[in-house]
Chains A and B, each alone.
Chain A
Amino acid sequence: MKRGGGLISSDVMRGFHDLLILSLLAEGDSYAYEIGKEIKLRAAEMYQLKETTLYSAFARLEKNGWISSYDTQETHGRKRVNYTITSAGRQEFKRRKEEWLLIKSLMTQFI
């Protein structure tokens, strides 16, 4: 199972999941389904995350203190887990973003 349901293999994308999520949360708080949907939408069928991949990324990010979660009540009385980016998360996002821009310009020298 190399493919995450799109054209780009999930192995290649693995290192970028954190960056994708951090970038979306930097735009505003969100929750699992919405983030997954947004990634799918922006990826335009090129890439799709499995649910467990997404949730394990949340767990990793939260463990590192880059995001934190809080519950809100939904209309049906159920709790929804929301995620927000922390200031450490913003710093990490900035660092990873710069790193990505470097990688991008490096790769364009070859391909």
Chain B
Amino acid sequence: MEVFNTYLNNIFAAYQETEQALRLKESLLMTMEEKYRDLTLEGLSHDAAVGKVMSEFGTIDELADELVLKERTTEDKLSAKDEEIIEEYQLFMKDYSMKFAATIALLILPLVITIVLRQWGGGIVAGIGFLVSGAIALFFFLSLINQHEYYMKYFRSRELLQFLDPGEAEKILKDKAPRHNRNDNLWAKIRSNIWLVAVAIYLVAGTFFNMWGTAWVIFPIVTALLAFD
């Protein structure tokens, strides 16, 4: 009967469609129909019989507890690519804070190199040393940030936030929530464009104050700032 079938379909929708689950569902349907038939033979109306069958059904949790049924989990909905990326991400995050610290150190390095080379080899050598070490540091830094951003975007678009690092998932959820605080808003705006702001400051400091070396400090500072946010 359609009414019992629909009822059972709704109840079983939360569980995996294993052979065992299907067999159980079919058997339950038959039991309900037989019960209904007997009740109507006893003289009950259609509505009264359906109501009685439903009320004597019980709760599906009781059955699920006996491990007859397995709940549908998010794992069932993951594509092969999702699984691959999740695994990659977990590897990536394993030593993320160490990589981050190493990158900050790498960003400080051009400053040290410039100072040392200036004393030893003069302006041109110091300039070349700064450019080379700066380029290397920036390369590592940007690829790290890029990779991280890629995972964040992927998990967000696929709605797989539960696989993110708890702290990072929290950040994403916080960003999604509406903000009422004005200060918060301003900080959010700055933060989303922080690298643009940092590069602008660096260029201004370099061009107008000729602080190409010293102003570099903005990059490690901003990186550290983001890490502790």
Q: A residues touching B (Cβ–Cβ < 8 Å)?
A: 5, 31-33, 36-37, 48, 50-53, 55-56, 59-60, 63, 74, 78-81
B11 closest partner in A (C-beta): A52
Query: Is B2 close to A, CB under 8 A?
Result: no
Residue in B38, B58, B65, B67 whose CB lies within 8 Å of A51: B58
* A51 B56 Cβ-Cβ under 8 A: yes
6 closest A-B pairs by CB: A50-B58, A52-B58, A59-B66, A33-B31, A56-B66, A52-B62
* B30 A52 Cβ-Cβ under 8 A: no
In whole Å, how far is B49's beta carbon from the nearest beta carbon of chain A? 14
Please, which residues of chain B bring their CB within 8 A of the CB of A78?
26, 30
* B63 A50 Cβ-Cβ under 8 A: no
* B31 A52 Cβ-Cβ under 8 A: no
Query: Is B125 close to A, CB under 8 A?
Result: no
Please, which residues of chain A bring their CB within 8 A of the CB of B30?
32-33, 74, 78, 80
Q: Which parts of B40-99 form the interface with A (CB within 8 Å)?
A: 56-60, 62-63, 65-68
Residue in B26, B28, B38 whose CB lies within 8 Å of A79: B26
Please, which residues of chain B bring their CB within 8 A of the CB of A50?
56-59, 62
A79 closest partner in B (C-beta): B26
- A33 vs B67: C-alpha distance when bound (angstroms): 21
**What's the count of A-B pairs with C-beta under 8 Å?**
59
Please, which residues of chain B bring their CB within 8 A of the CB of A55?
24, 27-28, 63, 68
Interface residue tally of chain B, by bracket?
20 to 34
Please, which residues of chain B bring their CB within 8 A of the CB of A59?
63, 66-68
* B62 A32 Cβ-Cβ under 8 A: no
Please, which residues of chain A bring their CB within 8 A of the CB of B108?
none
In whole Å, how far is B75's beta carbon from the nearest beta carbon of chain A? 24
Please, which residues of chain B bring their CB within 8 A of the CB of A79?
26
Please, which residues of chain B bring their CB within 8 A of the CB of A32?
27-28, 30-31
* A52 B60 Cβ-Cβ under 8 A: yes
In whole Å, how far is A15's beta carbon from the nearest beta carbon of chain B? 15
* A51 B28 Cβ-Cβ under 8 A: yes
Query: Is B23 close to A, CB under 8 A?
Result: yes
* A81 B66 Cβ-Cβ under 8 A: no
- A63 vs B63: C-alpha distance when bound (angstroms): 13
- A37 vs B56: C-alpha distance when bound (angstroms): 12
A50 closest partner in B (C-beta): B58
* B56 A5 Cβ-Cβ under 8 A: yes
* B68 A51 Cβ-Cβ under 8 A: no
